[in-house]
Structure 1
Amino acid sequence: MDKSWMHSDRRSKAYEFGVEAFLNFAVENLLTTTHIRCPCVKCVNLKLFGVGIIRDHVYFNGIDQSYKNWTFHGEPWEATTNASRNVEEDDGHSRYSFVSEEIDMDDNDFGDFGSNPYEFANVIGDGDQPVYPGCRKYTKLSALVKLYNLKAKHGMSDVCFTELLILQGDLLPEGNTIPTSMYEAKKTLCALGLSYEKMHACPNDCILYRKEYEDSTNCPTCGISRWKEGKDSILKEGVPAKVVWYFPPIPRFKRMFQSHETVKSLTWHAARKSIDGQMSHPADSPSWKLLDDKWPEFGNEPRNLRLALSSDGFNPHSSLSSRYSCWPVILVTYNLPPWLCMKRKFMMLTLLISGPKQPGNDIDVYLEPLIDDLKSLWVGIRGVYDAHNGEYFTLRAALMWTINDFPAYGNLSGCVVKGYKACPICGDDTPSHRLKNGHKICYIGHRKWLPINHPYRRQRAAFNGKPEYGIPPEPLTGEEVLHMVENGDRVCWKKKSIVFDLEYWKYLPVRHALDVLHIEKNVCDSIIGTLLEIPGKNKDGIAARLDLLNMRVKTDLQPEYGERRTRLPPGPWNLSRAEKREVCNSFYGMKVPEGYSSNIKNLVSLQDSRLLGLKSHDCHTLMQQLLPVAIRSVLEKPARYAITRLCFFFNAICAKTVDVSKLDKLEEDVVVTLCLLEKYFPPSFFDIMVHLVVHLVREVRLCGPVYFRWMYPFERYMKVLKGYVQNRTRPEGCIAERYIAEEAVEFCTQHLSDVSTVGVPSSQMMGVSKPLSGCTVSIVDQDLLNQAHLYVLENTEEVLPYIEQHMIHIKTAYPKFRKRTKWLQDKHNSTFIQWLRFKVQSELEEDNHGVSENLRWLAAGPNMAVPLYRSYLIKGIKFNIKAQDDVRTTQNSGVYLLAHTMQVASAKDKNPILSNMGFYGVIQEIWDLDYQKFTIPVFRCDWIDSGWSVVLSMPNREYNDVIGDEVLGDVIIECEPFTRGMSNVDTFDELVGELGSQNIRGGCEDIWIE
């Protein structure tokens, strides 16, 4: 049918004839002739009217010119793809709205919603249909989205959700449109979701049955059948032996650009304010800038995507006895701001490799379709619609690095992660040594990273019995690695990684990122296991002592064999039984703020003096802050000093914002720390995880903050995927179906203003202040009340001009004391409250006084009767009084105050110095000052003497959801690598001396082994 009239002048005869032909066509081809969808630019096929009204709309408003395939009016569906369309031919786009906000979408994008456009059209219609007759707040679609949102957020089972739908249907009036089962709900949502592809694979991980193997029935490599073999050994033709679920990323990236808010977030990195010398995002890193410099046409378009890939296996079953392992492959987009980048909503599941066994080094076979799409994304996908700017553009994307634990690092990169050459950065120059009795490889020799003239290089007995003259190895570039694997180097490399098929991959400085999560956890396990002699994690033992003897170092620690038992002299790393109990009691008695970590008390076995069941985040909190506190009074100084330095390093390396100028010093410090550990710990302690610590600063320098490259968010996401499994016999199918259903929900919630998204969780209490307990009303001391009231006034911005006026008033009234700062401040504190009250009263008597309602009630002062609470929520953070914490397993009564105050040398000091001072304290009472129209909570604290207490601040692992880009530009989180009290190595050696030939620790019991 001729549709050229759609572009004609609405006053022309061609337009008039075209409208009549269109209406006749619609009436003839649709079942009903009373109401049809209106295609005008305002209704865009969302509203149904009679033919006469539609004729008026099309004349007055004009027809939607992008509505070229009249699917809503009886024309057969003509599927096209965005890859083949000519952008220049399109001069508009269709818009479909199912609640109140329009979703920008090209008509050809119907292809992203499956093969049946009528199902999608029905869903669009559900956006106009009320959930029950007369309801104006909810439509059928919005109600379903909200209900499914609850299901996803709280992990509701399908059976429970079906029963909830039935109950909702019974509660609502007759004629409601709530689905009656999970099946009906999923059918509706899947019409909005993007599809996935099921690819057959060889059970031996040889090939995917795609491209030239699509019609094969047997694997051309191993000859095994494509089809599953039944229990009777008969092949079930048509039932694949192994399936891979592929979720194409290109249509999902295109959908991201169909949301106004998401497009703005994707270009955040180009619009933000960056600070010289600071890295708070991968956009600040040299790796990001290399892509901009080497391919300027790529870097000049801020909408081009920078990606990271992560993959790891997990057991989808609850039973720990099951060894089933399925492997998701996840993409994250670094264009997004830090508070969105690693969130569940923007983690894109691209591959799901079915079990029961892991793919291992054959993972490249399964990555083929993803790499093909990444190649296409590098070349460019034409015709992607930008909803924010209202234009089409060519989308490109680049993979920056992969993120995996160390075994998976080897699988994806193709490098060896065991044996003499286990370090992928050092390669052939990995400092390794085989321990004859321990039957393992240790990685000692970190002195080669020290300066040439460092005294440790010349020491023999404290290390491996030899001086060190070597230099640190240069990390291999991608081009060097590619040359080695193409020339058949099989010493350090097992294969050529498929990721090298990306033309830019060999030029990237860091292609596979070391995972700080697993490195920190394994190092923590080694330290705790060795100190507390935990079986299976203890790096000390008879074999370790014999290896010292073979190396001719610390020979006085060799084992002494008896008739029934073997005696091991205590080394510098050993704790006495009393010290073990003291360390365990320290952990057992620790109270940390709510949400800081798991309950450490539950991990302590006082009977065995051990820590058991440590998870990765438990190890994170131990290494960041708790371990140095627990060992501060045990061990000899050298070993304690080395462990404390290592903990300080991990605390510094995990900073959210990296000060580039401090990285060189941090790298020097960690090398010295590893050398100290070599001096005071056995060689068996130094597995590959300890060695990899020396390379962490390099990756921070090249890639930016650690929390963009560790596995924490991916581990959490895999727990979400595990929760999708309802049918234990088909775990991957459950995950695939639940994933696309959640995709549809996320797509809908972007356009529902009153629905919180599941993928970007936000605390319901964020920003809320309210009491959490009952109160007792008390008449407090007037002096204390004035002190609290003065603190409120001093910290109220509206009062600051009055403070300046009052200081001028005092100096004028007492000219003899105008230079005595302390006297002026004392006078101000004692008279300001009354002065402000009279000052505000006098201003209120004037016309056009400008005094706000808040200031009026502040000046009047608080009520004498003060409510006292035991617990209070301040901007989403919980605070308790000390008495409340005494009966709880957590503590929320500790506070820190940074105050700009005067420092005096004595009571007679007349020239105090103004500076910022930190005060630590515990909350004794929580007052809620009543100013008639509003209340202000204040804490009455006992301030702690920093000389006898240990104070910890909470380590942060990710950005708060409410942080905005304006805040991020001004906040710099400083993290000093070492405290002021930690002396440098040379000074420390002078203080504690060298161990020399005496390595046996005094005052510690011998270790007896049966």
Structure 2
Amino acid sequence: MNNFRTWLDKERCYPNGMLTREYAAGLTEFMNVAMNQESCLTSGKMLCPCPSCNNNIDIDKDLVWGHIYSLGIMSSYKVWFYHGETDAYHVGSTSENVPKRVEESRLDEGGVGTVQMVHDAHRENMQEFIEPANIVEEPNLEAKRFYDMLDASKSHLYEGCKEGHSPLYAATRMMNIKTDYNLAEDCVDAWADFVKDILPEDNISPASYNEIEKIVSGLGLPYQMIDVCIDNCMIYWQSDAEYLACRFCGKPRFQNTSGRSRVAFKRMWYLPFADRLKRLYQAERTAAAMRWHQEHSTDGEIAHPSDAEAWKHFQRIYPSFAEESRNVYLGLCTDGFNPFGKHGRQYSLWPVILTPYNLPPSLCMKREFLFLSILVPGPEHPKRSLDVFLQPLIHELQVLWEHGVQAYDVSWQQNFTMRAVLMWTISDFPAYGMLSGWTTHGRLSCPYCQDNTYAFQLKHGRKTCWFDCHRRFLPRSHPYRRNKKSFKKNHVVSDGPPPEPDGENILMQLRDFGVEKTTYCGGSVHNPVDGYGEFHNWHKHSIFWELPYWKDLLLRHNLDVMHIEKNVFDNLMNTVLNVPGKTKDNIKSRLDLPSICNRPHLHVLSNGRGPIPRFRLDGDAKDALFRWIV
């Protein structure tokens, strides 16, 4: 009867720290059942049976993996009545199904690589056991509930109604209308009751907003509202959840109100994305498409990020992650906008959006696959404190990388452990600085050239200029390198391009310059960093470096092409059309020309005016251009 528990009495780890095959298989089986218990599915937490927690502490289900991995299960816990031990639990757990002990891996001594290789090997042990090929499995309890809800939603609103008109359809439509038009709950109650009243007597349409909420809540996509310091110093989350005042600036958390419920000065919204990624595998429309990135062929052309070098570089470094085609590759983008438009109110709201890149190009950028993850509140610009709001997202990414979550793939009809990785971010250049920690303005604004730049200050324009910084990237034999007239006058370029800093080099810079993490020093308040603006532009230690794989990525941050195209087009058209106040061809730029360029025909004349350049359109040319556009 108790043979399936024998793995508890076996050796837990090999001498190199890797879990033994038998212990890994038993632990996986135990956790699969424990995470499908009613209490865990409802709260996302469970009692941890490690020797430290001793079944006395409720913690996040994904953290239990790490506790048991490091400490094992308490020796006195022989009957698992807290975690759902049943007769069905040990079906398929016989000794024949437990893989044999694998050969020990030779690891380097005590470095970061050791920890990563141990974790990768541990995951490979469990992956082979819980994902047997060509075996059809019943959905796990969470997925089964989802399918049961969908089946129940197929019931008709009333006998003889139009196909597809179900209580779930009615509830979701009503909820969408309420959201789109910002209707009050009393208003929804009134017209929901009216609709139910005019339908046939046997109808089961929801009659109130409360009933609508109950039906829609069955979709099971959670969200969190987290209190924030009014100055963006910290969020009241995890170990800081019980604070009543900011531990940095000391300002109170709650407003003084006469009501019983306490109202925070500021809140952020966090929408966990693991459940939404699971739904992609539970839906027949998208389950198979989530493997497209690994199954497609493009004959050497780059039709998708998975065809590019950055993706392949990551897969070479982490082959155990790449072997499972259902693991998820994510991209993150963010930007600020004013939700009040042109009504005069200054308000900066910052959404953070995640996109799964497993999908083919025809689906990848569709709106339904752009997952809103964080909504950073205004009205002030978050500036350097953006990392404070990213903490829940980074925590979930760490869990999805190290442990993964149980999911059901309807296309293969298998349960599997789904893991995820954040491949890169996408933003405009100012947001690039907020995400990366490198200030993107001033002479050292380029995150790749850093202090090895040819940028200089314009004497009259009072702006930093990068003119003639590009020739160093040309081939050594290119004639432009020796051209003394078309670029900077009398200047020949012999230097090569600056060395591109890798992850290890950047981490060394952050350490040597003493750059602090925003979450440690409180929002936008930063101690001055030695050499800032002269030798480097690091203003913070970005929170993304807490992801264990971030240092190994070939491409961490991308620039949004739309912003670049718009800015280039605007400046070009404003200049050739000579738009007052917006053209780049102004008196200050003409005054800077003599010291930089060999273009005497553009120098300022004795009357203080500049000659008309050939690139400026006259009246007839403007008319021809506008007629061509129309």
TM-score where L is the length of structure 1: 0.45
Instruction: State the distance in 2 between where 1:267 and 1:556 align.
Output: 61
* C-alpha distance in 2 between matches for 1:437 and 1:456: 27
Structure 2 residue aligned with 1:558: 603
| Superimposed CA distance per residue, residues 682-734 of structure 1 (whole angstroms, 9 cap, x where no aligned partner) | xxxxxxxxxxxxxxxxxxxxxxxxxxxxxxxxxxxxxxxxxxxxxxxxxxxxx
Q: Does 1:473 align with 2:515?
A: no
Listed one character per residue, the Cα deviations across residues 204-228 of structure 1 (whole Å, up to 9, x for unaligned) are 1211112222111111111111123
Q: Percent identity?
A: 35
Cα 1:420–1:70 shift into 2, 3 Å: closer
Letter paired with 1:280: A
For 1:460, give the aligned amino acid. Answer: K
For the residues of structure 1 that align with 2:378 and 2:398, how far apart are their CA atoms?
A: 27
CA distance in 1, matches of 2:259, 2:204: 45
Q: In structure 1, what is the Cα distance between the partners aligned to 2:169 and 2:158?
A: 10
Instruction: Tell me how far apart the structure 2 counterparts of residues 239 and 432 of structure 1 sit (CA, whole Å).
Output: 50
Structure 2 counterpart of 1:484, from 509, 512, 519? 509
Select which of 225, 238, 244 maps to 2:262: 238
1:413 CA drift (Å): 0.4
The answer to whether the 8 Å contact 2:167/2:204 transfers is: no
**Which residue number in structure 2 is paired with residue 209 of structure 1?**
236
**Structure 2 match to 1:309:** 332
Q: What SS class does the counterpart of residue 400 from structure 2 fall into?
A: helix
The residue correspondences of 1:720-735 to structure 2 (distance < 5 A) are none
Matching residue's letter, 1:532:
L
Question: Does the 8 Å contact 2:284/2:411 carry over to 1?
Answer: yes
Which residue matches 2:215?
Answer: 188
Structure-1 residue corresponding to 2:440: 417
In 1: Cα distance, 2:260 partner to 2:591 partner: 58
Cα distance, 1:340 vs structure 2: 1.0
Name the CA distance, whole Å, in 2 between partners of 1:458 and 1:341: 46
Q: Deviations over 1:373-406 (max 9, x none)?
A: 1111111224322232222222111110001111
How far the C-alpha of 1:189 sits from its partner, in A, is 0.9
Displacement after TM superposition at 1:237 (Å)? 7.8
CA distance in 1, matches of 2:213, 2:393: 27
Aligned counterpart in structure 2 of residue 381 of structure 1, from 378, 389, 404: 404
Q: State whether structure 2 residue 157 is matched by structure 1 residue 131.
A: yes
Distance in structure 2 (CA, Å) of the matches to 1:204 and 1:253:
33
Task: Give the secondary structure class of the aligned counterpart of 1:257.
Answer: helix
Matched residue, 1:426 = 449
Relative to structure 1, the CA distance from residue 217 to residue 458 in structure 2 (aligned partners, 3 Å threshold; closer, same or farther) is: same
Do 1:459 and 1:467's aligned partners in 2 also have CA atoms closer than 8 Å?
yes
The correspondence for 1:438, drawn from 461, 470, 483, is 461
What aligned pairs does 1:329-408 form with structure 2 within 5 A after superposition?
329-408=352-431
Q: How does 1:894-905 map to 2 (within 5 A)?
A: none
Shift in Å, 1:544: 0.6
Whether 2:562 is the aligned partner of 1:520: answer no
Pairwise CA distance, 1:70: 9.7
Q: Which residue of 1 aligns with 2:205?
A: 178
The reply on whether 1:450 has 2:495 as its aligned counterpart is: no
Distance 2:357 2:623 in 1: 46
| CA offsets 1:334-366 (integer angstroms, 9 cap, x no match) | 111111111111111111111111211111111
> Aligned in 2, Cα 1:139/1:514: closer, same or farther, shift over 3 Å?
closer
Rg comparison, structure with higher value:
1
Matches within 5 A, 1:568-967: 568-587=610-629, 590=630
Judge conservation of contact 1:410–1:416 (CA < 8 Å) in 2: yes
Q: Is the 8 A contact 2:334 2:350 kept in 1?
A: yes
Asked if 2 retains the 8 angstrom alpha-carbon contact of 1:131 and 1:143, the reply is no
Residues 45-68 of structure 1 show CA distances to partners (whole Å, capped at 9, x for unaligned) of: xxxxxxxxxxxxxxxxxxxx99x9
Q: In the alignment, is the contact (CA less than 8 A) between 2:172 and 2:216 conserved in 1?
A: no
- Label 1:395 to 1:570 Cα distance change in 2 as closer, same or farther (>3 A): same
Please give the alpha-carbon distance, in whole angstroms, between the structure 2 residues aligned to 1:429 and 1:280: 34
- In the alignment, the residues of structure 2 paired with residue 511 and residue 206 of structure 1 have an alpha-carbon distance, to the nearest angstrom, of 26
Q: 1:547 to 1:182 in 2, by over 3 A?
A: farther
Q: Say if 1:78 and 1:542 are closer, same or farther in 2 by CA, change over 3 A.
A: closer
1:91: Cα distance to partner?
6.2
The CA distance in 1 between the partners of 2:270 and 2:237, in whole Å, is 12
Match of 1:226 among 247, 253, 266: 253
Q: Which residue of 2 aligns with 1:327?
A: 350
Aligned to 1:978: none
Deviation, 1:301, is: 0.4
Indicate if the aligned counterparts of 1:416 and 1:493 stay in contact, CA closer than 8 A. Answer: yes
Q: Equivalent residue for 1:682? A: none
1:17-75 deviations in Å (ceiling 9; x for gaps): xxxxxxxxxxxxxxxxxxxxxxxxxxxxxxxxxxxxxxxxxxxxxxxx99x9899xxxx
**2:141 match:** 107
Amino acid at match of 1:204: D
Structure 2 gaps of 5+ residues are 1-32, 47-60, 65-82, 93-136, 514-530
Indicate if the aligned counterparts of 1:165 and 1:180 stay in contact, CA closer than 8 A: yes
Alpha-carbon distance, 1:171 to partner: 4.8
CA 1:165–1:105: 2 relative to 1, 3 Å: farther
Aligned-partner Cα distance in 1 for 2:143–2:339: 34
The AA in structure 1 aligned to 2:153 is: G
Deviation at 1:157, TM superposition (A): 5.5
CA RMSD of aligned residues (A): 3.5
* CA apart distance, 1:249: 1.8
Which protein has the bigger strand share? 1
The CA deviation at 1:333 is 0.4
Asked whether the equivalents of residues 104 and 258 of structure 1 are also in contact (C-alpha less than 8 Å), the reply is no
Question: Structure 2 CA distance, aligned partners of 1:209 and 1:69?
Answer: 29
Taking a change above 3 Å as real, the CA distance of residues 80 and 137 of structure 1, as seen in their structure-2 partners, is farther
CA contact (8 A) 1:80 1:108 kept: no
Tell me if 1:540 matches 2:585: yes
Paired position in structure 1 for 2:167: 141
Shift of 1:86: 9.4
